[in-house]
A and B are shown apart, each in its own frame.
Chain A
């Protein structure tokens, strides 16, 4: 389980690891001691999200018509933003190697096809993925913190994280404790994220809200702000194990949150919708939403990701169609690791 040495991350503006998030939180909240009631007052003071209006805005953005040159550009961008994922009990070294190889060569018939941003696996598969990916630039992301339920002790979750980082993970996808969040114990959620971030070292931390369990957009907004306050580098929608997974209105709400956080602090935080995004058309709708809600700065795989597996196949298929003018079919897309994620 020893992969190649982790390459230092090329950092742009991001949440610095040396920030004392608790001190910063006290500063932002204007309190001398960070308590649950202080966090509650702050989070509950965020503007509400009107469900009807939010969904109407997402539906409106979905009608954008992205054609020709802009479609080709968007397809390549979307491919480069994928966290190519396999998260199954049945994952084997063979399957993970296959997936990693696919990330290196997404389309053997078109070598100019960009690589996905990362391969996303369970912690015990990090070394395997790393062996294949080496210094290619494709990152290895590991889910941790008792993914997907998050129901384990803090010590186990942190050990899970450290283990994946030690194996060479460049990125950690943690889950929040939805039970604590829904019970109103925001301080516990905050601390868990902050401690996980600390355990990550140089690895970037994606914080999964599991929005299918938070249900309301108000909760999505509050959980996003809480995650950013606690030092998360990304806010992420879902584990892919709960339905609904990513939806456009949920992602839109997160994009509003990272935009407003940037206004407030000057820091940029990434967004990752995961699960249920399968077609190029879907992916382009997300990119339009990124563009029109958060802005151009987020149209980069350092700041926006898709957690997906089959999406790559459709994007490659569409890319081939744009090059040849004809639709081929699934058998013309080399697929080493078909998955249901």
Chain B
């Protein structure tokens, strides 16, 4: 009997037209950088160069901040919330209209499977703009304090794992509350942010309200250090987050930092087992594990660990790893060579520490950056792969005996971004959620996002919340106006 081979089902890339080079988006115009060394962005699945992108210098960042300041004082801070909302609704609708193009572009630049960019990233991006558009004229009723209003110019630096979604998390609340922004996308994934710049023009957003400067660490540092920036919002590694916090110490700048994580996904023996297995897979193999809130530490009740591992391995055998543009791909490419090296190194550490390494042995493409979904079992709390964020498709399996031990192990980490609980017992879910020091606790699900739900961390996972009513707080001033 022949097997059920899924024939290639590639999404067409004809829907995108990538310019060979890109300038910076400042004051509503695409402009040349004033120096800086242009850099290439590649498709991590093929190593094909997609485009050349400008590196913004400190002077370019200064121009962007000035444009944002002008837009803030002359237009955006004076505009009614209802009118700001109209622009955000317009942007949200354009994102929906151009959804396919944005999904393809995101997959080409990032390496994530098209089914995720199509079904998760882009719909959530639109949802964030729709949600915050609704708040724009209702800030008075959001319990933020009296006279809620924008802060001014916000500098935003975002990571490469969800390029357009992280932009939406940052830009939508900032604009809804009356701020203007200077945003820097990650150097390996700038293309959808530049497409968003086009969308701002298409929506007739007043020039300077959104400015997008591309570059790497130095460009980010220029934004952080710029005296004209009133607030910073950063998502990325804990290391860079700490640098930012040091840089702005003693200044008037406010900051929200959304940093690393080592989320515990906790499976009890009474869990709905088939769905828990799916939740483990979603928790760590969604987006190749490039998720700050990934369930990278799997804590399994010891009496069912063999059963869970058996079922998990069988399930991983059906994951389809490969061409991200194929609609049937479940796990795509690692975003960069540097990240692949980091994952490879930490996986090596796991083996050296004596944990048992397993992967399905599936075929991988010959070019591009790839890593098989990998399970480490027999991991102990003191292992580096139980402590350090790997940010890749690697799950470390630990065991516990009692709910109290599960909580203690889950909390025993410098991070505190996410956790998951799998049990059919409702009272235990509520008790655990109370005890876990994590910003997000999922019950019988994992890696589900919604613009109405605040997201953020405890401890070294950062501070501030994004999304929901709580997320607005980071972007408003309240009380009497002082100038």
Contacts and interface: CB of A to CB of B under 8 A. Distances in A.
Interface stretch (A20-28, A65-73, A114-122, A333-341): A65-73
Given A47-B272, A47-B274, A296 B3 contact: yes
B146 interface: no
A270 to B, nearest CB: 15
B272 A49 contact: yes
A322 to B, nearest CB: 12
A222 to B, nearest CB: 13
Interface stretch (A34-42, A51-59, A135-143, A306-314): A51-59
A47 B318 CA distance: 22
Contacts of A49: 272, 274-275
Given A64-B328, A65-B328, A57 B278 contact: yes
Contacts of B6: 64-66, 70
A53 B424 CA distance: 12
Interface in A253-302: 256, 287-288, 291-292, 296, 299-300
B116 to A, nearest CB: 11
B7 interface: yes
Given A47-B273, A49-B275, A67 B4 contact: no
Interface in B2-17: 2-9
A73 B274 contact: no
Interface string B1-43: 1111111110000000000000000000000000000000000
Contacts of A288: 4
Contacts of B7: 66-71
Interface string B230-246: 00000000000000000
A66 B320 CA distance: 14
Contact of A291 (B4, B274, B424): B4
Contacts of A296: 1, 3-4
7 contacts: A53-B272, A63-B115, A64-B327, A71-B7, A287-B4, A288-B4, A299-B1
A71 B6 CA distance: 8
A94 interface: no
Contacts of B278: 53, 56-57
Contacts of B445: 52-53
A4 interface: no
Contacts of B3: 296
A68 B270 CA distance: 43
A264 to B, nearest CB: 12
A50 B267 CA distance: 14
A78 to B, nearest CB: 11
B279 interface: yes
Q: 6 nearest interchain CB pairs?
A: A53-B275, A65-B9, A50-B272, A65-B327, A50-B275, A47-B273
B271 interface: yes
Interface residues of B, number: 25
A68 B5 CA distance: 11
Contacts of B8: 67
Contacts of B327: 63-65
A30 interface: no
B221 interface: no
A73 B4 CA distance: 8
B119 interface: yes
Interface of B: 1-9, 115, 119, 270-275, 278-279, 318, 327-328, 424, 444-445
Nearest to B1: A300
B318 A292 contact: yes
A48 interface: yes
A63 B7 CA distance: 14
Given A68-B7, A71-B7, A53 B2 contact: no
Contact of B4 (A50, A52, A256, A299): A299
A288 B5 CA distance: 10
A67 B273 contact: no
Contacts of A300: 1
B272 A70 contact: no
A66 B5 CA distance: 9
A241 B119 CA distance: 35
Contact of A48 (B1, B115, B424): B424
A242 B327 CA distance: 35
Contacts, number: 71
Given A53-B445, A299-B4, A67 B275 contact: no
Contact of A53 (B5, B9, B119, B279): B279
B279 A70 contact: no
Interface string A65-89: 1111111011000000000000000
A217 to B, nearest CB: 9
B5 A47 contact: no
Contacts of A74: 4
A258 B279 CA distance: 22
A287 B279 CA distance: 23
Given A49-B272, A67-B8, 11 more contacts: A47-B270, A48-B270, A49-B275, A50-B272, A63-B119, A64-B6, A64-B328, A70-B4, A70-B5, A73-B4, A287-B4
A53 B271 CA distance: 12
Contacts of B328: 64-65
Contacts of A63: 115, 119, 327
A299 B327 CA distance: 22
Contacts of A71: 7
A244 B274 CA distance: 23
Q: Which of A47, A52, A54 has the most CB of B within 10 A?
A: A47
B100 to A, nearest CB: 14
Contacts of A292: 318
B318 A256 contact: no
B9 A67 contact: yes
Contacts of B5: 69-70
Nearest to A63: B115
Q: Which of B7, B8, B424 has the most CB of A within 10 A?
A: B7
Contacts of B1: 296, 299-300
B4 A54 contact: no
A76 to B, nearest CB: 11
A67 to B, nearest CB: 5
A271 to B, nearest CB: 15
Nearest to A54: B275
Contacts of B318: 292
A316 B2 CA distance: 21
Contacts of B272: 47-50, 53-54
B4 A57 contact: no
Contacts of A287: 4
Given A73-B2, A292-B318, A50 B9 contact: no
Contact of B274 (A52, A54, A68, A299): A54
A66 B4 CA distance: 10
A63 B330 CA distance: 11
Nearest to B115: A63
A35 to B, nearest CB: 24
A299 B5 CA distance: 12
Contacts of A68: 7
Nearest to A69: B7
A52 B2 contact: no
Nearest to A74: B4
Q: Which of A48, A54, A63, A296 has the most CB of B within 10 A?
A: A48
Contact of A256 (B9, B271, B274, B444): B274
